[in-house]
Structure 1
Amino acid sequence: MRLLRPYREPVVTEPSAPAAPTPARRLLPAIVPAVVVGVLSALVLLGVSLLAERFQEVLWEALPDTLSVGRYSALWTVAVLTACGLATGLLIRAVPGHAGPDPATTGLVDPPLPPLVVPGLLLVTVLTLAGGVSLGPENPITAANIALACWLGGRLVPGAPAAQWLALAAAGTVGALFGTPVAAALILTETLTSRPGPGALWDRLFAPLAAGTAGALTMTLLAHPSFDLSLPPYGRPRWGDLLSSAVIASAGAVLGLLVVYAFPYVHRFFRSLRSFRGLGGPVLALTAGGLLLGALGALGGRLTLFKGLDEVRELAAAPDGWSAGQFAVMAVVKAAALLVAASCGFRGGRIFPAVFVGVALGLCAHALAGAVPVALAVTCGVLGVLLAITRQGWLSLFTAAVLAGDAAVLPILCVASLPAWLLVTGRPQMQLAEDGTPLR
């Protein structure tokens, strides 16, 4: 007799889920779009810079020569910058999107703007750079490249998140600005570590680093940029350098903080000028700002005009060519010009003018105390000012070290950054909320 076996339901095996791609297979497809975005970001920066340089030659060389007016004379400086403010205000009022939001409320890397804002923003940036305003190209060019990358990327690759295109455009632009992808990696490291996301940090930096490399190589091959000021070699650190570096960097941080603390008050003054009826919103504020910048330029001289990168090289080429008082005047005037330009509505970045302030401050310290090496004084001055203005430690250290072109100064810079950072951390930033209060 056979025993009946109990009934058992058949086991249904589900098909196994496909294995997740390895990190390498996930990262490889990002190389091509990263390279494309990096190259295009560099080309936008290069095109705007070249156009601004040609227009600058017309405004500051050809036109005054035709009118038999002295180049960079006090009268011409005030006239050009006042006219630049008026023209910028009229353009901002007329162009679609009004060249973006109030620059006092924006940072270096922000959410993408609508694409229709980009042409007006780039046009205003060319006028700002050519007219002698104490602002650099980094903020508006980064904003324009982010807007273009997110708009085009969203149409070509609809499934890709906008944050990916934003990171690629920011990295490509920063890499092109500094001529090296290291700057882009350092800036994005500070940004990405504050945001949760899957994967190791270097996995998240892989595509932006490729974009930064493409942008840096494109700019290097086409324009040959260099931040090395050819300063005298630093040599070996000495015990006295520990104190002098800390003092100079702290002084730079204090000067930068004075600008930061004055920023909301000066911005409030220019915002009040925009409320006058019949004057087109930004027109009066920017015209008044241009007039003030012209007066500051007449006071500080030709070297305190423009974004400051070329002028920094001229200062560094003759560190003993001016007195301590003259260097101090240039540092203060440039800091005041940066404050006015950033408050009244000109579109531009603050890194390059802040570098000029730091270099002038460092050369002032060297003129006061000749025992302090030039390379140490300059880099520590730049470090302190940048820490206060940008509040980005890696970027400040990197920029200061690159200016010297000497790795021996890096350990002393790290020491100098400690007291300077203690002065700036927790303080208001040089960026305002919509209601005009400073961010922290």
Structure 2
Amino acid sequence: MSETTTASPGIRTLLLMSVPAILIGVGSAVVLRLLDLVSDELMHFIWDYVPGLFGASEETPWWIFLVLTLTGAAVGAIVWLVPGHGGPDSATTELGGTPPKLGAVPTILLVSILGLAGGVSLGPENPTIAVNSALAVAVFGRLSIKIPPALLAMLAISGTIGALFGTPVAAALVFTGMVGATALPGSLWDKLFLPLAAAGAGSVTMLLLGGESISFTLEPMGAIQPVYLLQGFLVAAVSAVLGVIAAFVFPYIHRVFHALRNPIIFTTIGGMILGVLGIIGGPITLFKGLQQTGELLENPGAYDAGQLALFTGVKLVALLIAASAGFRGGRIFPAVFIGTAFGLLAYALFPGIPISLAVACGVMGITLAATKDGWIGIFVGIALCGDITVLPLLCLIILPVWLIVTKAPELTVHPAEPEATAPAKPVKPAKA
């Protein structure tokens, strides 16, 4: 069908605009990779080197509690006292949104590094997108007034998502639903052209720089059987319900913490609670969750049903506490760990279900509840199990599961919710 409602952009326009799109994609990946490298080095120092000086290890309970508590205190002090204040509260932001002011970028990076290295159960996606969006608008907004800030932010989001997942497909799927509401002219692929260029550049750059991959390989499902639809639905539905419950209580937990007013108080208390949870669940329930997801999938038979249930519950609570207590970070990677642990729990309890289907459905269910994006749910589920034969089943299973989550609250604290984030002293918080 021909495009009759809106004229498509010319080839010359797309080619010219693809240059900043690719540059933003490359820059977004570089920022993410530098954030990963710095936080990884600090993590190894904190968890591998320093505890040995005191006769402890990363599994020593008092060390886990101490590190998380001090991380909370450090993050709270920065949010309270340092100009920029760590940027917007990650609990109130999604993958998109208005870029923060450039002055907030240093503290966003600082609190993100501390959280990632200190074992906080949040991922790098929200802070990295905020930083990359702010940098893209600041740099390219000054070079050319012909590029709208909203488009620059979209390209930064695309580049960051491409770098996070190691493939531009994830960004393309996310923006399929978003570009329809934009003012970009032309057909769907005209609208996706620039975001896909940024995402592709971000993905390739991240892979060239040796970044982590979200792709794993499990035992293939084999021939499809009718009972797999029922089994997969049950796993995905229960996983989605866990996400819905988390989304329901999220604003209340956030409100309790922020009622304490001073960031150094409620973030330190949050760190203490995370320390207790880390002692209960062990080191595998700490950090953003991607590497720990790999540990689960490399040897799924090493954990019994009780351990997997513990991992699922502890990580879910840790995610809610970390996101509510003022730490900066995203919720997708911890949700992926939760879904993986729950999928393996289903496989341990019901061995008749293929492990690839169980993991894919476990991840898809809670990711769908957390993001309200079916494409991301399907994509992450397939990426985790590495079995393309699961795809047709997921496309059917997701339909009734979507009915469970579509009217449920989002895993985000909206501006209408009481936030009570003002510091004790008259220090103005950063605006989103």
What's the counterpart of residue 352 of structure 2?
Answer: 371
What's the counterpart of residue 52 of structure 1?
Answer: 39
Amino acid at match of 2:341: A
C-alpha deviation, 1:22, in angstroms: 5.7
Q: In structure 1, what is the Cα distance between the partners aligned to 2:338 and 2:82?
A: 33
What's the counterpart of residue 336 of structure 2?
Answer: 355
For residues 211-256 of structure 1, the C-alpha deviation after alignment (integer angstroms, 9 at most, x for no partner) is 1111100001111532222211121211110100000000100111
- 1:233 alignment partner, SS class: coil
C-alpha deviation, 1:288, in angstroms: 0.5
Percentage of identical aligned residues: 47
Q: In structure 2, what is the Cα distance between the partners aligned to 1:71 and 1:169?
A: 36
Amino acid at match of 2:67: V
Report if aligned partners of 1:23, 1:203 keep a CA contact under 8 Å in 2: no
C-alpha deviation, 1:197, in angstroms: 4.1
What's the counterpart of residue 300 of structure 2?
Answer: 319
Q: In structure 2, what is the Cα distance between the partners aligned to 1:198 and 1:38?
A: 21
What's the counterpart of residue 74 of structure 2?
Answer: 87
Q: Does 1:419 align with 2:406?
A: no
What's the counterpart of residue 397 of structure 1?
Answer: 378
Match of 1:305 among 266, 269, 286: 286
Amino acid at match of 2:394: L
C-alpha deviation, 1:326, in angstroms: 1.1
Amino acid at match of 1:109: G
What's the counterpart of residue 323 of structure 2?
Answer: 342
Amino acid at match of 2:281: G
Q: Does 1:290 align with 2:281?
A: no
For residues 141-190 of structure 1, the C-alpha deviation after alignment (integer angstroms, 9 at most, x for no partner) is 00100000011111111222111111111111100000001111111112
Amino acid at match of 1:350: R
Q: In structure 2, what is the Cα distance between the partners aligned to 1:27 and 1:434?
A: 36
For residues 376-400 of structure 1, the C-alpha deviation after alignment (integer angstroms, 9 at most, x for no partner) is 0001000000011111111111111
Q: In structure 2, what is the Cα distance between the partners aligned to 1:368 and 1:44?
A: 42
Q: In structure 2, what is the Cα distance between the partners aligned to 1:351 and 1:416?
A: 20
What's the counterpart of residue 6 of structure 1?
Answer: none
Report if aligned partners of 1:90, 1:283 keep a CA contact under 8 Å in 2: yes
What's the counterpart of residue 132 of structure 1?
Answer: 119
Q: In structure 2, what is the Cα distance between the partners aligned to 1:212 and 1:244?
A: 35
What's the counterpart of residue 29 of structure 2?
Answer: 42
What's the counterpart of residue 16 of structure 1?
Answer: none
The structure showing larger relative contact order (alpha-carbon pairs under 8 Å, at least 6 residues apart) is 2
Amino acid at match of 2:304: S
- 2:84 alignment partner, SS class: helix
Report if aligned partners of 1:125, 1:347 keep a CA contact under 8 Å in 2: yes
C-alpha deviation, 1:372, in angstroms: 0.7
Match of 1:163 among 143, 150, 169: 150
Report if aligned partners of 2:372, 2:410 keep a CA contact under 8 Å in 1: yes
Report if aligned partners of 1:319, 1:374 keep a CA contact under 8 Å in 2: no
Q: Does 1:123 align with 2:104?
A: no
**Worse overlay, 127-136 or 399-408:** 399-408
What's the counterpart of residue 422 of structure 2?
Answer: none
Match of 2:163 among 169, 172, 176: 176
Q: In structure 2, what is the Cα distance between the partners aligned to 1:313 and 1:101?
A: 30
Taking the TM superposition and a 5 Å limit, the aligned residue runs for 1:229-308 are 229-274=216-261, 281-308=262-289
What's the counterpart of residue 99 of structure 2?
Answer: 112
Larger Rg computed on CA atoms? 1
- 2:301 alignment partner, SS class: coil
For residues 350-381 of structure 1, the C-alpha deviation after alignment (integer angstroms, 9 at most, x for no partner) is 00000000000000000001111110000100
Report if aligned partners of 2:68, 2:120 keep a CA contact under 8 Å in 1: yes
**Worse overlay, 409-418 or 332-341:** 409-418
Runs of 4+ with deviation above 3 angstroms: 194-197
C-alpha deviation, 1:435, in angstroms: 3.4
Amino acid at match of 2:350: A
- 1:97 alignment partner, SS class: coil
Q: In structure 1, what is the Cα distance between the partners aligned to 2:266 and 2:220?
A: 45
Amino acid at match of 2:130: A
Q: CA RMSD in A?
A: 1.4
Q: In structure 2, what is the Cα distance between the partners aligned to 1:179 and 1:71?
A: 29
- The unaligned stretches of length 5 or more in structure 1 are 1-19, 275-280
Match of 1:188 among 164, 175, 194: 175
Q: In structure 2, what is the Cα distance between the partners aligned to 1:175 and 1:371?
A: 35
C-alpha deviation, 1:23, in angstroms: 2.4
Amino acid at match of 1:83: L
Q: In structure 2, what is the Cα distance between the partners aligned to 1:42 and 1:21?
A: 29
Report if aligned partners of 2:166, 2:204 keep a CA contact under 8 Å in 1: yes
- 2:227 alignment partner, SS class: helix
For residues 184-216 of structure 1, the C-alpha deviation after alignment (integer angstroms, 9 at most, x for no partner) is 111111222234542112111111111111110
C-alpha deviation, 1:138, in angstroms: 0.3
Report if aligned partners of 1:179, 1:216 keep a CA contact under 8 Å in 2: yes
Amino acid at match of 1:31: S
Q: Structure 2 vs 1, CA of residues 161 and 196 (structure 1 numbering), >3 Å: closer, same or farther?
A: closer
Amino acid at match of 2:363: V
- 1:427 alignment partner, SS class: coil
TM-score, length-scaled by structure 2: 0.93
What's the counterpart of residue 366 of structure 2?
Answer: 385
Q: In structure 2, what is the Cα distance between the partners aligned to 1:411 and 1:283?
A: 49
Q: In structure 1, what is the Cα distance between the partners aligned to 2:128 and 2:59?
A: 27
Report if aligned partners of 2:9, 2:185 keep a CA contact under 8 Å in 1: no
Q: In structure 2, what is the Cα distance between the partners aligned to 1:429 and 1:71?
A: 34
Taking the TM superposition and a 5 Å limit, the aligned residue runs for 1:419-438 are 419-436=400-417
What's the counterpart of residue 8 of structure 1?
Answer: none
